[in-house]
Structure formats: structure tokens, C-alpha cells
Amino acid sequence: MKKAIYPGSFDPLTNGHLDLIRRASKLVDKLYVVVADNVNKKTVFTVEERINMIKLVTKDIQNLEILHTNKLVVEVSRDLNISIMIRGLRNLLDYVSEYQLASFNKNLNPDIETLIMFPSKDMHYISSSAIKELIYHDADISPYVPHELVDVIRNKYSKIVK
């Protein structure tokens, strides 16, 4: 069975994340979406809220499992006997951090291979910080996040950014 792991903070889940989840799920028998704690990011949504958002918009994907970890993702990969890690690459700035992360992960677990996926053409500029900025300026976020999550995301961020 070919398994892969797609980690992220998913705070919030965007159409870019969902695009990668859908496409990656077609490449493997089992895809683990891992909501990972990141010491460099201050999250807005709780772990449970992020997991529930992912579950809500991916319920049609049969080979998907959603997990949370506060461990290194490479350790989770080893624990689950996964050798493929999916990462998204939107731009050159992402390249530097993703290259460094892939190198660290390979050093920690020589069996892990990082598979870089580019976003679909209309998704390369979507980011959580851009969503926050749009909400701050009362702009429409519906083109950038799953429609089922628009109100949830807007309401949560509105309490923080105003």
C-alpha cells in the first residue's frame, strides 16, 4: 500500500490546501493529512476546529485520514511507515524554506522522500495571512477558502483582527 503524509498547520484551511489534498489523494492508496503544531506560528483556530474544517470539506475522499501531532512530522511518518511527504510550493520564498525542511527531514529519516506539488494555476497566491488581510478590510474571501468554511473563518478572524 502506497501511503503519503501531507502536514500543515491549516490555520485556516484554504482552497490551495484543499486542491493539494484532492490531487495528492489520487496519487496514493492512503493519504494522511496531519495538523501539525508549529512553534513558529501562532494559530487562530484550535486543533479540533482545524481537524473539523478539514473533515467537513473532505468527507467525499475515501482514502483520507486526518491526524494531529505535536511531534516532528518526520517522526509521525516513521511511526506510520510512510516514506512520502507531500509539500506545497507556491513561490520562490516557499522554495527556500521547503528545501531546508526537506533536507532536515531527510537527515532525520533517510527513508523519507519529499514530493513537491505546485498549486493549481489559480491557487499559487493563496495564504492564510492573505485571508486575514482580506477579512481585516472586509473583502470577500469566498474565492480563496472552501464555501462551507467562509462564515466560520470570517467570524473567527473578525474577532481577532478588528
Please give the positions annotated as active site.
17, 41, 90, 128
**Cβ partners under 8 Å of residue 77, min gap 6:** 5, 83, 85, 109, 112
3-state secondary structure of 133: helix
Q: 9, 140 in Cβ contact below 8 A?
A: no
DSSP state for residue 148 in the 8-state scheme: G
The span from the CA of 6 to the CA of 66, in Å, is: 10
**Cβ partners under 8 Å of residue 28, min gap 6:** 2, 3, 4, 63, 84
Q: What are phi and psi of 132, to 5 degrees?
A: -60, -45
* Number of other CB atoms surrounding residue 37 within 10 Å: 13
Q: Which three cell numbers stand for residue 118?
A: 505546485
